[in-house]
Chain A
Amino acid sequence: MSADLHDLGFLEVAEALTQKRASSEELTMALLARSEELESKLNSLTWFNREAVLAEARAADAARAAGDNRPYLGVPIAIKDLLNVKGQPCTAGSRILKGYVAPYDATVIARLRAAGCVFVSRTNTDEFAMGGSTETSAYGTTRNPWDTDRVPGGSSGGSAAAVAARLAPAALASDTGGSIRQPAAFCGVTGLKPTYGRVSRYGCTAFASSLDQIGPIARSVEDATAVYQVIAGLDPHDSTTAARPVDDCLPNVRAARDLKGLKLGLPKEYFVDGLHPEVEQLTRAAVAQCRALGAEIVDVELPHSKYGIACYYVLAPAEASANLARYDGVRYGFRAEAEDLQEMYEQTRAQGFGAEVKRRVILGTYVLSSGFHDAYYLRAQKVRTLIRRDFDRVFARCDAILGPVTPSPAFRVGEKTADPVQMYLGDIFTANVNLAGICGLSVPCGFTTGGLPAGLHIIGPAFADARILQIGAAYQHATEWHKQQPKI
């Protein structure tokens, strides 16, 4: 049986453990073996919990044998190398945090730990989650399991690639401008960016605090829902989390079969020149499938969406310039040798940060600096309001919005690294969702003729996370795209 263990998804693993068809130790061994086999090709992991993971798995097995029946006890999960797990390294894909060992658990980690999960590995990320291809990591580029000449997307490319390649049944990731949904689409897996304030960010190395949100990447909407249920909810350590209760939506998601009675909007701005024709065709086919499942499809407008990327590339770097100021070589992480403090600061940050991080920190510093603050930062804050209002208007008459996740399928490694603006445009359909603070789901919706996956984007209003999960589940129940496996 152990040859197939790595193929099990999050809920299948939980079931196998509950029914004692497998042990956590066996599962973990299978993942370890597969990771060792495939990582030379993928580089999706920055660290594998080699020493401790088997002991943790055995402890979970012992607890279960002793009557502990927590449903996720002993289920392995991979964690984006941005989230702090006590006692594990947390590099954020950066040289500046090389050797840093987290002294505390992120809230999402504490909740998964309480649920019994085992943190099997850490997944590669663009440096400080800044990037759309997992090429900016100081620990090397991650490869797309469907075509290792191509990027897995980013910044959660490690999580998406690891889940797609069956190195973990599910992974945690984070999404600031599309960093869960875009790699999920590129790697043919399912990714949820929850509503802002739905999942605690405490312990998630901050990129842009008003946009960041942690969510699951998994093999199915059901699996993503299961992980989401564990991590969501009010957290006294994160004042931006909402005080709303988190309903148990897993039974409804599992039972979702059709979309009857739902009105889904199709924004004309999401089907424009430059959208890859095969991605457009796959998205439209998915929309047709939703109609066939009983949804009413209506045309809608999001007139300010074309300003989303520009708005995002003012606000996110501005916040990042402050969030990354703490990496100065004083209290932790890398420190450059220097005669005096100023030189230490400037050299530590010059040598510790990669090119993309420097670019964004400098951009963010500029848009906040005296004389330019109003023209860029303040204006972008107002444009953000306009973008939010666009969505408010659409959601006044629609239950959710459908569209493509990405303007193209996975591109080649190195293809866009020289042209930041082209790279930034990859977030064109996703960043607006973060700016509006609403929720978005990416589900696999087919393959290009070249065999590359594409994703259907299901966008819901704030705190309608359960609703988009149900829509995604109904779609997956009617389709087989999410069950396809890359041959590596």
Chain B
Amino acid sequence: MAMRFSENADRMDVRYVAGLARIALSDAEAARLQGQLDDILAFVGELKKLDVSGVEVTDVATEAQNAWRADVPIAGLEREATLANAPLARHGQFVVPKVIE
């Protein structure tokens, strides 16, 4: 099961992608991840060898369709329960540090 990976696999811009995912990385972490992710990308890059032209995608895995709900309201969570896990709450609202646009 030893895998050989192609030399010309994609290299990921780890810092950019981590930014998209909102994860701060230390330099050491970024370097370690770069190597591991390069390996993984080379591995999953094996998919590129398959001819998939004309193959439809599997987008939704269930056989179910529609599964609609009637438009009838029911009671929600108590506000105490809603806010119980909040790291910071004030005036019945969730509070976050200031947003810099």
Contact = CB atoms under 8 A, between A and B. Distances in A.
Q: Are A and B genuine complex partners?
A: yes
Interface of A: 99-101, 103-104, 196-197, 210-211, 236, 239-243, 272-275, 304, 307, 309-311, 313-314, 321, 325, 328-335, 338-347, 349-350, 353, 355, 358-359, 361-363, 365-367, 369, 372, 375-376, 378-386, 388, 407, 420-421, 424-425, 428, 437, 462
A338 B50 CA distance: 46
B87 A350 contact: no
B85 A332 contact: yes
Given A103-B84, A240-B61, A421-B40, A383 B50 contact: yes
A341 B23 contact: no
B67 interface: yes
Interface centre among B17, B37, B46, B55 (most CB of A within 10 A): B17
Contacts of B58: 381-382, 384-385, 388
Given A366-B17, A379-B48, A345 B22 contact: yes
B85 A100 contact: yes
Nearest to A379: B47
Contact of A101 (B19, B21, B23, B84): B84
Given A331-B94, A420-B40, A240 B64 contact: yes
A350 B1 CA distance: 33
B81 A310 contact: no
Contact of A333 (B56, B64, B87): B87
A462 B63 contact: yes
A352 to B, nearest CB: 9
Interface in B16-68: 17-25, 29, 33, 36-37, 39-41, 43-48, 50, 52, 55-64, 67
B94 A243 contact: no
Interface in B48-101: 48, 50, 52, 55-64, 67, 69, 77, 81-82, 84-88, 94, 96-100
Size range of the chain B interface in the assembly: 35 or more
A358 B95 CA distance: 26
Contacts of B57: 378, 381-382, 384-385
17 contacts: A99-B85, A236-B69, A333-B87, A338-B97, A341-B99, A344-B96, A349-B23, A359-B37, A361-B21, A362-B23, A365-B17, A365-B21, A366-B17, A375-B10, A380-B44, A437-B61, A462-B63
B77 A103 contact: yes
B39 A103 contact: no
B85 A386 contact: no
B1 A428 contact: yes
A96 B48 CA distance: 35
B84 to A, nearest CB: 7
B43 to A, nearest CB: 5
Nearest to B68: A239
Given A310-B47, A329-B87, A331-B85, A362 B21 contact: yes
Contacts of B14: 362
Contact of A341 (B43, B84, B97): B97
Given A332-B87, A359-B33, A366 B12 contact: yes
Given A341-B98, A358-B23, A375-B48, A421 B43 contact: yes
A52 B97 CA distance: 37
Contacts of A274: 1-2
A383 B96 CA distance: 42
Given A328-B22, A350-B25, A420 B39 contact: yes
Contacts of A330: 87, 94, 96
A307 B50 contact: yes
A437 B19 CA distance: 33
Contact of B100 (A332, A340, A386): A340
Contacts of B3: 421, 425
A421 B39 contact: yes
Contacts of B84: 101, 103
Contacts of B12: 362, 366
Given A313-B43, A340-B99, A382-B55, 4 more contacts: A210-B60, A341-B97, A344-B97, A358-B18
B56 A385 contact: yes
B98 A386 contact: no
Contacts of B55: 382-383, 385-386
A70 B68 CA distance: 32
A371 to B, nearest CB: 10
Nearest to B10: A372
Nearest to B16: A369
Contacts of B18: 358, 362, 365
A313 B85 contact: no
Contacts of A425: 1, 3
Nearest to A366: B17
B62 A242 contact: yes
A355 B26 CA distance: 12
